[in-house]
Homo-oligomer: A and B are copies of this chain.
Amino acid sequence: MSSTTDIDALIEQMAKLPGLGPRSARRAVLHLIRKRSLQLIPLANRMQQVAATARECLNCGNIGTSDICGICENEGRSNGEMCVVEDVADLWAMERTMVFKGRYHVLGGTLSALDAIGPSELRIPKLMDRIATENVSEVILALNATIDGQTTAHYISDQLGDSVKITSLAQGVPIGGELDYLDDGTISAALKARKSF
């Protein structure tokens, strides 16, 4: 290890990031030290800016730099469609497709009996409020195709009843996917949901 505590401490802190381990943290820190003025200093400054300004949107739970995020503030996106996602990362993934033009609601996780996460630990009460007040015509449940995700989708669907149209993402073969590499569940879901060619 290097002889100096500051650099060691930085490596240790970097190694705590998801996707990095001790070895890749060392590589990243050496890289940053070599590119001190081009990368290390701007990165440190940007982190401080983000630490000072990043916050959760009080309405949808997206992360942005104002109390109400740009999507919630955008009147043009108030088209009655509300996409429910588990996590901010899922919201960002949806946004990258540039296909969805409505609003979002981030739950902040899924119901989980094992982890003792009930509806009030998530942003489900806020979702019900929004659906009641924001003139929502369709709720799109874009939750992960995991057991917890689907349990959460069923719970929300039960709560909403027939008050609003509820849809979920289609399941099937991913674009570019090869059948041979897909799991059985995906193939049988795609077969059940087959459509005329």
Which B-chain residue is minimally distant from A27 (CB atoms)?
Answer: B18
Q: Is B26's CB under 8 angstroms from A64's CB?
A: no
Q: Is B36's CB under 8 angstroms from A54's CB?
A: yes
Q: Whole-angstrom distance from the CB of A74 to the nearest CB of chain B?
A: 9
Q: Is B51's CB under 8 angstroms from A9's CB?
A: no
A4 within 8 A of B: yes
Contact bitstring A47-72, B, C-beta under 8 A = 1, else 0: 11111011000000011111001110
Q: Is A43's CB under 8 angstroms from B36's CB?
A: no
A170 within 8 A of B: no
Task: Please state the number of chain copies in the assembly.
Answer: 2
Q: Which of A46, A62, A95 has the most CB of B within 10 A?
A: A46
Q: Does more than half of chain A's interface fall in helix, strand or loop, or is it mixed?
A: helix
Q: Is B47's CB under 8 angstroms from A43's CB?
A: yes
Q: A residues 19-47 with Cβ under 8 Å of B?
A: 19-20, 24, 26-33, 36, 39-47
Is the interface on chain A under 10, 10 to 19, 20 to 34, or 35 or more residues?
Answer: 35 or more
A173 within 8 A of B: no
Q: Is A50's CB under 8 angstroms from B33's CB?
A: yes
Chain B residues with CB under 8 Å of A187's CB are none
The answer to whether residues A48 and B54 also contact, given A26-B89, A27-B19, A62-B2 and a CB cut-off of 8 A, is no
Which 6 A-B pairs rank lowest in CB-CB distance, beginning with the nearest? Answer: A3-B70, A44-B47, A19-B24, A4-B65, A17-B28, A44-B48
Q: Which residues of A contact B (CB under 8 A)?
A: 1-4, 6-7, 9-10, 13-14, 16-20, 24, 26-33, 36, 39-51, 53-54, 62-66, 69-71, 88-89, 92, 95-96
